[in-house]
């Protein structure tokens, strides 16, 4: 029997926190593609399912795990709500091998943002990837830009 060639989806996201236009913090964080996300990707290969389209942020601190199906504590108010991402294909290793999702939030309240995820719907939906990181403390007027890249190799 022939052995299947491995098919990996992995990546990272970049976070930029600004106040009054000044860059306060910039980070690169590796992501975790969750089990439901792998099933979503396999379904998309055969033409079923809905493609990831939204980014969500939250205040949860429980480590990301393969079995996650949602953020631990998604922000739903004060400018931190789940948002439709600008989606593009970019090149990591070979032409157009990476899906890129980008959102900039402008806050009207204060949060300690500690998690991010990619989902395929504005409400509910299937989680593709999630990760937790050290707190980024935002206040009203701050912006947080996240560019999430998921590479296929």
- From first to last of its 153 residues, what are the pLDDT tens digits of the chain? 778 777 788 889 999 999 999 999 999 999 999 999 999 999 998 999 999 999 999 999 999 999 999 999 999 999 999 999 999 999 988 899 999 999 999 999 999 999 999 999 999 999 999 999 999 999 999 999 999 999 988
41: left (phi over 0), alpha (psi -120 to 50) or beta: alpha
Place of tokens 């236009």: 21
How many Å apart are CA 92 and CA 43, to the nearest integer?
Answer: 23
pLDDT on residue 6: 76
Sign of the alpha-carbon dihedral angle for 65, 68, 73, 75? positive
Query: Which residue from 29, 38, 7 is spatially nearest to 129, judged by alpha carbons?
Result: 38
- What's the burial of 29, exposed, middle or buried (CB within 10 Å: 0-12/13-18/19+)? middle
pLDDT on residue 10: 86
pLDDT on residue 61: 97
> Do the beta carbons of residue 116 and residue 56 sit within 8 Å?
yes
Alpha helices in 25-85 (DSSP H): 35-45
pLDDT on residue 41: 92
Query: Which residue from 125, 103, 13, 123 is spatially nearest to 64, judged by alpha carbons?
Result: 13
How many Å apart are CA 29 and CA 149, to the nearest integer?
Answer: 10
pLDDT on residue 122: 94
pLDDT on residue 113: 98
* 127-138/111-119 β-pairing: antiparallel
Compute the residue count for the chain: 153
Instruction: Give percent helix, percent strand, percent coil of the chain, each to the nearest 5.
Output: 5, 50, 45
């Amino acid at each position: 029997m022939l052995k299947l060639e491995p098919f990996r989806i992995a990546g990272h996201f970049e976070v930029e926190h600004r106040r009054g236009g000044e860059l306060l913090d910039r980070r690169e964080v590796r992501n975790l593609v969750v089990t439901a996300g792998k099933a979503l990707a396999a379904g998309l290969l055969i033409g079923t399912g809905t493609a990831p389209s939204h980014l969500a942020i939250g205040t949860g601190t429980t480590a990301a795990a393969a079995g996650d199906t949602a953020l631990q504590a998604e922000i739903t108010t004060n400018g931190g709500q789940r948002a439709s991402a600008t989606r593009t294909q970019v090149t990591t290793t070979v032409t157009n091998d990476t899906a890129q999702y980008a959102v900039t939030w402008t806050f009207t309240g204060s949060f300690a943002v500690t998690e991010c995820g990619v989902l395929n719907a504005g409400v509910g939906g299937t989680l593709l990837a999630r990760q937790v990181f050290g707190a980024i403390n935002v206040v009203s007027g701050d912006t947080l830009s996240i560019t999430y890249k998921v590479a296929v190799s």
